[in-house]
Amino acid sequence: ARPIRLAVNLHRYGEGRTLILSRDVTAVEQAEAMRRDFVANVSHEIRTPLTVLTGFVETLQTLPLEVSERAHYLNLMAQQASRMQGVVSDLLTLSRLEGSPPPGRSESVPVAQLMTQGEQEGQALSTVLGRKHTLVFPETETLGNAALLGASQELRSALSNLVGNAIRYTPAGGTITVTWTVLDGREPGRGAAGEGELAVRDSGPGIASEHIPRLTERFYRVDRSRSRETGGTGLGLAIVKHVMQRHGGRLRIASQPGAGSTFALVFPPMRVRSEAPVVAGK
Ligand code: ADP
């Protein structure tokens, strides 16, 4: 049994009569505690780069520096500013997702289009990080007319977060493989028949099981410094989780230390339009 918190009010009425009203406020208090944690986290995430930034400004103001040294400091300042920008922009995305009704099914987003865009972004990020990964995406023809019914911008950002993470956490020379599958429901734990799965698998370090359930919490990171080094805000998977909830789907995470990770977007059949590629002669 878990303890609950009760709010109790006593009302006197009539002669010697008392009405006792009690309300279970456990959920209210939990929500309040979460809100406080969240505000504390946001403040911390913004204050840290701001402190560094202010320090550099003072350095530039007080020390007579060579041109090359100035450039070095300005570079570091730009990094901190862009970190803050990243956090604020992800927070805005989250709050927009929370505040708007779930997307309808009128927009049809070709899986091939999502893949092409994911691959381009992935290549660009891998090049920026100088890691020479191998990216394996499905050939466009094999995807036929497969499409997802939902908000294209949200779907793009979900895939781009997963591809981005795979690249950021996978060391140089690693492989990232992206697949599209309409599930047949026969593989235990993967999903039900007719669900559509967009999966991103990497050959990275993998994640210990105790962290997995917490990865979609805002600002939860397994390794703080590795996340920051590559421009992580700690909000990417929280955004992905929201997008999937809004589409009636879910995020499936399978990972083991040393064996890489798979992050899969699983969509319910009502969001999946799968037409097999047209085969000549049939
Ligand atoms: P971040 O901006 O820190 O990457 P995310 O919400 O995207 O934030 O991810 C949360 C944490 O999950 C990361 O800090 C990292 O520890 C872990 N993680 C996410 N994707 C991977 C991956 N492909 N391989 C290993 N760890 C990962």
Work out which ligand 1 atom sits closest to the CA atom of 239: 6
When pLDDT is averaged across residues 268-273 and rounded to a whole number, the result is: 96
pTM equals 0.87
Q: For residue range 172-226, list pLDDT tens digits in order.
A: 999 999 999 999 999 988 999 999 999 999 999 999 999 999 999 999 999 888 8
Q: Are the CB atoms for 168 and 258 separated by under 8 Å? A: no
Work out which ligand 1 atom sits closest to the CA atom of 222: 16
Residue 225: predicted pLDDT: 84
Question: Could you give the percent of the chain with pLDDT greater than 90?
Answer: 83
Query: Which of 33-47, 155-169, 195-209, 230-244 is least confident?
Result: 33-47
Secondary structure element (H or E) that encloses residue 117, with its range: helix 111-129
Q: Which of 93, 200, 221, 230 to mutate to test the pocket of ligand 1 (most atoms within 8 A of CB)?
A: 221
User: 164, 138, 149: which is closest to 263 by C-alpha?
Assistant: 164
Residue 228: predicted pLDDT: 81
Ligand 1 centroid distance, CA of 189 (Å): 22
Residue 276: predicted pLDDT: 55
Quote the mean pLDDT of the chain.
93
Work out which ligand 1 atom sits closest to the CA atom of 166: 23
Q: For residue range 41-60, list pLDDT tens digits in order.
A: 999 999 989 999 999 999 99
When pLDDT is averaged across residues 94-107 and rounded to a whole number, the result is: 94
pLDDT confidence bin for 279, thresholds 50/70/90: low
ipTM above 0.95, yes or no: yes
Q: Which of 94, 169, 265 to mutate to test the pocket of ligand 1 (most atoms within 8 A of CB)?
A: 169
Secondary structure element (H or E) that encloses residue 252, with its range: strand 250-255
pLDDT confidence bin for 282, thresholds 50/70/90: very low
Q: Flag whether pLDDT at 280 surpasses 80.
A: no
Ligand 1 centroid distance, CA of 63 (Å): 39
CA distances from 155 to 108, 117, 131, 148 (A): 11, 11, 26, 9
Report the nearest-CA residue for atom 11 of ligand 1: 221
| Cα angle: 197, vertex 199, 205; to 5 degrees | 150
User: Who lines ligand 1 at CB under 6 A?
Assistant: 161, 165-166, 169, 202, 204-205, 207, 215, 220-223, 227, 232-238, 261
Cα dihedral 233, 234, 240, 242 sign: negative
